[in-house]
Amino acid sequence: MQTLTVGLGTRSYPIHIGSGLLDRAELMQQHVPHGRVAIVTNTTIAPLYLERLQRSLRSIDTSSVSVILPDGEEYKNSETLNLVYDALLKNRCERTTPLIALGGGVIGDMTGYAAATYLRGVPYIQVPTTLLAQVDSSVGGKTGINHPLGKNMIGAFYQPKMVLADTDTLNTLPDNELAAGIAEVIKYGLIRDLEFLEWLEQNMDKLLARDTAALQYAIERSCRNKAEVVAADERESGERALLNLGHTFGHAIESGMGYGNWLHGEGVAAGTIMAADLSQRMGWLGVEQVARIRRLFERAGLPVTGPDLGVEKYFELMGLDKKVEGGRMRFVLLKEVGRAVVQADVPQQLLRQTIQACAHG
Amino acid sequence: MQTLTVGLGTRSYPIHIGSGLLDRAELMQQHVPHGRVAIVTNTTIAPLYLERLQRSLRSIDTSSVSVILPDGEEYKNSETLNLVYDALLKNRCERTTPLIALGGGVIGDMTGYAAATYLRGVPYIQVPTTLLAQVDSSVGGKTGINHPLGKNMIGAFYQPKMVLADTDTLNTLPDNELAAGIAEVIKYGLIRDLEFLEWLEQNMDKLLARDTAALQYAIERSCRNKAEVVAADERESGERALLNLGHTFGHAIESGMGYGNWLHGEGVAAGTIMAADLSQRMGWLGVEQVARIRRLFERAGLPVTGPDLGVEKYFELMGLDKKVEGGRMRFVLLKEVGRAVVQADVPQQLLRQTIQACAHG
């Protein structure tokens, strides 16, 4: 087991990464003062891992209430959230009853948001079971739900007490979800860790073959990058925005295609190519560098063109981005491979060209 | 104009109290970086004060979007909250667009909660227009909505940037709402400010006659008490719970009778008498002290007995209180007049006697 720390003063917390951690509930013990937790999971994960986690919890004399939600981004909304609140209230969960998010990014985001808002805030623990959640969404306290008009529009910054990433759970992950997670892994390389990007170029085949050591390394290095960024800028007033490389385009794709039709990581992959293309039009990247980035995503089996929503629809959806300020869209672009920046003044014409060039899938 | 400060480090903020403050939007100027705000109000307050606030904002070159909600505690729920989110998104309100809560406690709580959660948090300003909101709910950052199973069950601690209490707005307040506000004013005297309680006993008639100086003094002294408590214990891990005197019973009354049928302050009044009665059964207050407290609430025209929901219903509703810990109900009781404590071990039999004695209205 590897342990990293997200350094946030009194709200600092550990990320444990390793094999078999689902069986090690004793790691959570200090956060369960009354021997009772509420596990939030979904219909896909429950048959695979719920009983195992419950057994593990019983070994520390902890009983659990379970809330099993439908699986998919299309359920990351206020109706599903209300199912969580209803279950917590009916089971008399208290201010000291921790929630445990057992699942991927959707479960983690919704459980974290439920924890942020139930009784004005209860503790929660992330137990991510997808690569995307293990390398990105379970770390850093971004929680929330989607709104019909935009992704993650309703939410809170609310940090977990702990992240417990059992890498064994990746054995049951479908290939497309593994690839979706790799999109976020590549992101760290592109925005701030060139050495890691080069490692990914050399080890992509191992990751796709689910080589244990390679996956473990990629998760740990991704989490280290994420933890550093979050510790420096928890509420995204600066550097943290860079983690959104590809996300302005990607969220537009996800929302424009209807939640659940593109995986988040797939939207991020196509969105990152669009951001790279735009960076090239800004004169920052060369054509060969954009090609290099595209090649890496292609090797992971990820989409490298966006769907043809039409330029105006892209503009409309991106205008709702959380980074918009004073009516101006702001984009995360690449100054070079391995270094991202936030850019407010992107000529509309270049943006139009990028959408026309990259969104015809 | 009087100005107090809620001392919370970098999140400290001023409470301005005085006549004519609705016309002084310049006090808010520093929080409006892009000349745009969203005002959330209700159908009762909008015809009275919305245009005046808008005009005031125009004097600082600030335009506003308005969201006008139905009026009443029965609308403090997730459906109404969604109306706010919809309006904010449709009008492209951004992370730097402040929300302004123009109204009473319901508007303040819901607007604060919308601010806490829209785009993971935007700034907001409280402009309370009821006595209850001016002396209590607009200060301290408790935000939230009700759930069918319990009051304020969903929410967040999220501090405003400023509280702007225009005492002129009390001129249009109905008598029963003035009285409801006085219930929370009396609360401060009972839990921690005996001198203020004695002042209230001497000046109740002036308050009821809306004497400007008396109201101003009561508001300022209440806010001073509230600000001290919040600064010492923002997230209610200790002393802040004392502000809930009468609220465990009161919330049960509000929820048991159907939201909107009892005003919050009315529930608190009857609930405080129940807490005083229970304190007497615990051996802490004398009969004459309970009578003294009852007399003061009666003079304010407030209810001093709870509705006859039945003992079991009270138990069921109070079992959902946010203060319950490890399955044990916790009550705010009076050790003496002017000093409250949180008590976990209240014999069920005494509690039963209190409900039977005080809830037959």
Residue A198 in domain: yes
φ/ψ of residue B123, rounded to 5: -70, 155
CATH of the domain at A263: 1.20.1090.10
Examine the fold and report which residue of B150, B172, B194 is the final residue of a domain before the chain moves on.
B172
Per-residue pLDDT averaged across B245-259, rounded?
Answer: 95
B201 has catalytic annotation: no
Whether A79 has its CB under 8 Å from any CB of chain B: the answer is: no
State the total domains in chain B.
Answer: 2
Per-residue pLDDT averaged across B229-245, rounded?
Answer: 96
Is A330 strand, coil or helix? coil
A236 has catalytic annotation: yes
Q: A217 and A111 share a domain? A: no
* Contacting residues of B for A117, CB less than 8 Å apart: 117, 144, 154-156
Give the number of other CB atoms < 10 A from CB of residue A294.
19
Exposure of B69 in the CB half-sphere (CA atoms within 13 A): 30
Q: A157 and A202 share a domain? A: no
Choose the weakest-confidence range: A32-41, A177-186, A316-325, A348-357. A316-325
**pLDDT tens string B288-314:** 999 999 999 999 999 999 999 999 999
CATH of the domain at B151: 3.40.50.1970
B127, pLDDT greater than 90: yes
Per-residue pLDDT averaged across A196-212, rounded?
Answer: 97
Examine the fold and report which residue of B172, B200, B229 is the final residue of a domain before the chain moves on.
B172
Q: Which residue has the tokens 């790279």?
A: A276
What angle is formed at CA A122 by the lines to CA B340 and CA A18, rounded to 5 degrees?
145
DSSP string, A71-113: PSGGG-SHHHHHHHHHHHHHTT--TT--EEEEESHHHHHHHHH
Whether A238 has its CB under 8 Å from any CB of chain B: the answer is: no
A93, pLDDT greater than 90: yes
Q: A195 and A321 share a domain? A: yes
| Chains A, B: CB pairs < 8 Å | 102
C-alpha torsion angle, residues A116, A120, A122, A126 (rounded to 10): -10
Residue A62 in domain: yes
Examine the fold and report which residue of A126, A152, A172 is the final residue of a domain before the chain moves on.
A172
CA atoms of B177 and B185, how far apart (whole Å): 13
* Contacting residues of A for B119, CB less than 8 Å apart: 153, 155, 322
Residues A92, B327: C-beta atoms closer than 8 Å: yes
CA atoms of B339 and A61, how far apart (whole Å): 39
**For residue B316, what is the nearest residue in chain A, using CA coordinates?**
A92
**pLDDT tens string B214-225:** 999 999 999 999
Token pair belonging to B87: 């309006």
* Contacting residues of B for A156, CB less than 8 Å apart: 116-117, 120-121, 156
B319 vs B174, residue with greater confidence? B174
* Contacting residues of B for A326, CB less than 8 Å apart: 33-34, 94, 96
Q: A142 and A217 share a domain? A: no
C-alpha torsion angle, residues B222, B224, B225, B229 (rounded to 10): 140
Q: A319 and A352 share a domain? A: yes
Q: B203 and B105 share a domain? A: no
> To the nearest whole percent, how much of chain A has pLDDT over 90?
95
Q: Structure pTM?
A: 0.96
Per-residue pLDDT averaged across B276-294, rounded?
Answer: 98
Confidence of residue B320 (pLDDT cuts 50, 70, 90): confident
B35, pLDDT greater than 80: yes
**pLDDT tens string B169-186:** 999 999 999 999 999 999
Per-residue pLDDT averaged across B240-250, rounded?
Answer: 96
> Taking a C-beta distance cutoff of 8 angstroms, is the pair A248, A329 a contact?
yes
Q: B239 and B157 share a domain? A: no
Confidence of residue B162 (pLDDT cuts 50, 70, 90): very high
Q: B186 and B168 share a domain? A: no
CA atoms of A266 and A307, how far apart (whole Å): 11
Whether B121 has its CB under 8 Å from any CB of chain A: the answer is: yes
Which residue of A154, A236, A244, A317 to mutate against B (max B Cβ within 10 Å)?
A154
CA distance B224 to chain A (A): 24
A361, pLDDT greater than 80: no
Residue A177 in domain: no
**For residue A118, what is the nearest residue in chain B, using CA coordinates?**
B154
Residue A38 in domain: yes
Q: What ipTM goes with this model?
A: 0.95
Q: A201 and A347 share a domain? A: yes
Q: Which of B184, B234, B254, B266 is catalytic?
A: B184
Domain that holds residue B276: 180-358
Closest CA to A38 of A92, A89, A97, A116: A97
Per-residue pLDDT averaged across A339-357, rounded?
Answer: 95
Q: B204 and B352 share a domain? A: yes
Alpha-carbon torsion B189, B190, B193, B196, what sign?
positive
* Count of all residues that appear for chain A in the document: 361
Closest CA to B138 of B124, B122, B154: B124
Closest CA to A130 of A78, A72, A87: A72
Give the relative orientation of helices A175-192 and A212-232 as an angle to the nearest 10 degrees: 50
Per-residue pLDDT averaged across A229-241, rounded?
Answer: 95
DSSP for residue A303? -
Residue A264 in domain: yes
Confidence of residue B242 (pLDDT cuts 50, 70, 90): very high
* Contacting residues of A for B147, CB less than 8 Å apart: 85, 89
Residue A149 is predicted with a pLDDT of 87
* Count of all residues that appear for chain B in the document: 361
Q: A196 and A156 share a domain? A: no
**For residue A116, what is the nearest residue in chain B, using CA coordinates?**
B156
Confidence of residue A247 (pLDDT cuts 50, 70, 90): very high
Give the number of other CB atoms < 10 A from CB of residue B169.
25
Per-residue pLDDT averaged across A32-36, rounded?
Answer: 95
Residue A56 in domain: yes
Q: B84 and B143 share a domain? A: yes
Q: Which among B92, B120, B152 has CB closest to A157?
A: B120
Residue A95 in domain: yes
DSSP for residue B209? T
**For residue B77, what is the nearest residue in chain A, using CA coordinates?**
A82
Return the amino acid letter for B147.
H
Per-residue pLDDT averaged across B312-330, rounded?
Answer: 90
Per-residue pLDDT averaged across A15-36, rounded?
Answer: 97
